A and B are shown apart, each in its own frame.
Chain A
Amino acid sequence: QKEVEQNSGPLSVPEGAIASLNCTYSDRGSQSFFWYRQYSGKSPELIMSIYSNGDKEDGRFTAQLNKASQYVSLLIRDSQPSDSATYLCAVRAGAGSYQLTFGKGTKLSVIP
């Protein structure tokens, strides 16, 4: 059973701070990793993807991957109230796999 674990939160950070969201996964053969943002009542929106160990930056977002530790994280710099949402971690297994396994999400609240 492939599992993706996230702290459900809520995680509260003040406006302008760095928000750190974490995810662990059980399938050591996983190769593709994604972060989705889901506003209340809306569908998930892909915001980051990462495939290799290390950091990947896109604007205020940085995804970090450590395959040895089976750990992926998302950092949001200069957090804004508009970043308040649930963040879903998703993992795809090895080559040829198609299904994404999602964590239950971490709810982030950015306090003005």
Chain B
Amino acid sequence: GAGVSQSPSNKVTEKGKDVELRCDPISGHTALYWYRQSLGQGLEFLIYFQGNSAPDKSGLPSDRFSAERTGGSVSTLTIQRTQQEDSAVYLCASSFGRSNYGYTFGSGTRLTVV
């Protein structure tokens, strides 16, 4: 597609429920990144994919968080047993592999855990 597409744009969920966030990167971009931005905070790195592999999962905050990417394209970030501290904007970005180019971000998913 023309840009990075994320869905849903907004998600309100009850504490303890599982949620899935979807990212569809720019066509041809082999690298895909998930970041989290909490209110008034900076961008927190979560995970990086090169193709379907995730060489670095070190940013995932807990084992409740997982992510996968299939077909070198769409990625899903899953949060199990959501907690209120998971409330944030989850941003997906993509780029041409390990290039010198910056990322292109999607519009984000605003997750609210009540």
Judge: A and B partners, yes or no: yes
Contact residues of A with B, CB < 8 Å?
31-32, 34, 36, 42-46, 49, 51, 88, 90, 92, 96-105
Q: List 22 A-B contacts (CB under 8 A).
A: A31-B100, A32-B100, A32-B102, A34-B102, A42-B107, A43-B89, A43-B91, A43-B105, A43-B106, A46-B104, A49-B100, A49-B101, A92-B100, A96-B98, A97-B98, A98-B55, A98-B98, A99-B56, A100-B33, A100-B45, A102-B42, A102-B43
Contact residues of B with A, CB < 8 Å?
31, 33, 35, 41-43, 45, 48, 50, 55-56, 89, 91, 98, 100-108
Q: Which residue of B lies closest to A49 (CB)?
A: B102
Nearest CB in chain B: distance from A51 CB, A: 6
Given contacts A98-B31, A99-B56, A104-B42, contact A43 B108 (CB under 8 A): yes
Nearest CB in chain A: distance from B53 CB, A: 12
Q: How many A-B residue pairs have CB under 8 A?
A: 51
Q: How far is the CA of A104 from the CA of B43 in the complex (A)?
A: 7
Q: Which residue of A lies closest to B56 (CB)?
A: A99
Q: Which residue of A lies closest to B106 (CB)?
A: A43
Given contacts A34-B102, A100-B102, contact A44 B50 (CB under 8 A): no
Which residues does chain A contribute within 8 Å of B106, judged by CB atoms?
Answer: 43
Which residues does chain B contribute within 8 Å of A97, judged by CB atoms?
Answer: 98
Q: How far is the CA of A45 from the CA of B102 in the complex (A)?
A: 10
**A51 near B98 (CB under 8 angstroms)?**
no
**B102 near A104 (CB under 8 angstroms)?**
no
Nearest CB in chain B: distance from A5 CB, A: 11
- If A44-B91, A45-B105, A88-B42 are given as contacts, then 6 extra A-B residue pairs at C-beta distance below 8 Å, sorted by A number, are A34-B102, A43-B91, A98-B55, A100-B102, A101-B45, A104-B41
